Chain A
Amino acid sequence: GIQVEQSPPDLILQEGANSTLRCNFSDSVNNLQWFHQNPWGQLINLFYIPSGTKQNGRLSATTVATERYSLLYISSSQTTDSGVYFCAVVRGSTLGRLYFGRGTQLTVWP
């Protein structure tokens, strides 16, 4: 398979702070997605970003596929940003399955 490592495993912030979450992967990929899992377990799509940079409001993501990492930036964090953030990749030689990291647990305090 492919190894997907996320850091940090836990992150505690005060409302208004900025943060950067990292995802490293061990092989070439042709798909990378970032998800936010809410307290009810629903995985919410944040970015589909095999390469390059995308922005959506206070969130942005950058994937450098040649160096095998992706970053998720959260600016001006809010309490509703709390939850687990997952990075997931599709290995370059395969067509379908997502390999997930273990996630970053983010807690934002008011």
Chain B
Amino acid sequence: DTGVSQDPRHKITKRGQNVTFRCDPISEHNRLYWYRQTLGQGPEFLTYFQNEAQLEKSRLLSDRFSAERPKGSFSTLEIQRTEQGDSAMYLCASSFVPGLALQGGEQFFGPGTRLTVL
């Protein structure tokens, strides 16, 4: 078990370009979360999946953002037509939730993808 991994670790792009990030969760974890962190702030929730189903999306997730987890394993987060305000650290986390448990389980975070939009 190597933990949550994210790729790439850094991305520099020009305004208006599309970018895609990948997250590989801990192998037995069925929940996967995306968060965004800007300088001096705590991470803010974007969306999460249980297996392949996207169960919740934040209002922060504009229509330029889309996330998928097609086979219930890895996930991708795509940002279309990037803007300078999208510059942030994008964090992925995973957890295991047994059956119909109400609690979300302990979340473990990846190293993040730092996005800079010029």
A51 CA to B114 CA, complexed, in Å: 34
Closest residue of chain A to B42 (Cβ to Cβ) is A100
Chain A interface size range: 20 to 34
With A30-B102, A50-B103, A90-B103 already in contact, the answer to whether A43 and B109 are too (CB < 8 A) is: yes
A48 CA to B93 CA, complexed, in Å: 14
A-side contacts of B107, CB under 8 Å: 33, 98
A-side contacts of B105, CB under 8 Å: 31
A84 CA to B100 CA, complexed, in Å: 34
Can you list 10 pairs linking A and B with CB atoms under 8 Å apart?
Answer: A30-B102, A35-B109, A45-B109, A90-B103, A96-B31, A96-B33, A96-B48, A96-B104, A98-B45, A98-B107
A99 CA to B41 CA, complexed, in Å: 12
Contact (Cβ within 8 A) A101 B42:
yes
Contact (Cβ within 8 A) B48 A41:
no
With A41-B89, A42-B109 already in contact, the answer to whether A30 and B42 are too (CB < 8 A) is: no
A102 within 8 A of B: yes
Interface residues of B in 55-98 (CB under 8 A from A): 55-56, 58, 89, 91, 93, 97
A86 CA to B103 CA, complexed, in Å: 20
A-side contacts of B40, CB under 8 Å: 102
Contact (Cβ within 8 A) A102 B41:
yes
- What string of 1s and 0s marks CB contacts (under 8 Å) between A56-84 and chain B? 00000000000000000000000000000
With A40-B111, A48-B106, A97-B56 already in contact, the answer to whether A86 and B42 are too (CB < 8 A) is: yes
Contact (Cβ within 8 A) B102 A95:
yes
A95 CA to B41 CA, complexed, in Å: 23
A25 to chain B, nearest CB (A): 13
Interface residues of B in 5-53 (CB under 8 A from A): 31, 33, 35, 37, 40-45, 48
Contact (Cβ within 8 A) B112 A102:
no
With A96-B33, A99-B45 already in contact, the answer to whether A45 and B55 are too (CB < 8 A) is: no
- Among B40, B42, B89, B102, max chain A CB count under 10 A is at B42
Contact (Cβ within 8 A) B103 A100:
no
